[in-house]
Structures are given as C-alpha cells and as structure tokens.
Amino acid sequence: GESVGLHLPTLSVQEGDNSIINCAYSNSASDYFIWYKQESGKGPQFIIDIRSNMDKRQGQRVTVLLNKTVKHLSLQIAATQPGDSAVYFCAESLGFQKLVFGTGTRLLVSP
C-alpha cells in the first residue's frame, strides 16, 4: 500500500508484482522529464527519461508515462525485484539542463 505523512511516501509491493510510482510536476512549460533511483547513501541513478512531445517511453522493465494535461508523470516497473528497493525521484527540466526534483517515493519490495 501507499502512505503519506511526515516521512517519504512509501509503496510496498511483493516481489514479482508490477509497481507504479506517480509524480505530479509543477511547471507546464517543462519539456524534459527524468526518473532517478537513489539507494541509501548514494547519488541518483538515471532510470529513464521522456520529452514532452511523447506520452510514453519504454525501457528494460520500466515504462514512463507522461500526461501533460494534468502534469502527471508515472514510472511503471514490471516484475519488481528486491534490488529495485530504493527511493525514486522524478525530475523536470526548466530551461536547458536545470533540473527540479519531486519529493520522492520509497519503494519497498518484499521477497
């Protein structure tokens, strides 16, 4: 399930399930969006990106969906594995290369 409070929103799933992590971005003018994975004590790791002229992009086990009408971005992870456990951030690009990060969602995968 998903919980929101004083801590990061958390999504708990079972190994093998599909995970969907959502993000609301702030600027309707943003033209580039990225999902990052961050493990504890490490820097963000690039997962997948999408430009505003697309509404869907697929990678290996991951899919990003973009809904510009409601300024919503989602990351779908297929067949989630324990190694996917981390905090996931969306980021939007305001102007050339400057990134604004979302608040993050913690994904917990149980074996």
Give the residues lining the site for other proteins (CB under 8 A): 7-8, 32, 34, 36, 41-46, 49, 89, 93, 96-104
CB of 76 to other proteins, least distance (A): 21
Torsion of CA 73, 74, 75, 76, to 10 degrees: -150
* Three-state secondary-structure class, residue 83: helix
Looking at the Cβ atoms of 70 and 96, the one nearer to other proteins is: 96
β-pairing verdict for 32-38 and 86-93:
antiparallel
CB of 106 to other proteins, least distance (A): 9
Looking at the Cβ atoms of 45 and 110, the one nearer to other proteins is: 45
CB of 24 to other proteins, least distance (A): 13
Is the separation of the CB atoms in 72 and 64 below 8 Å? no
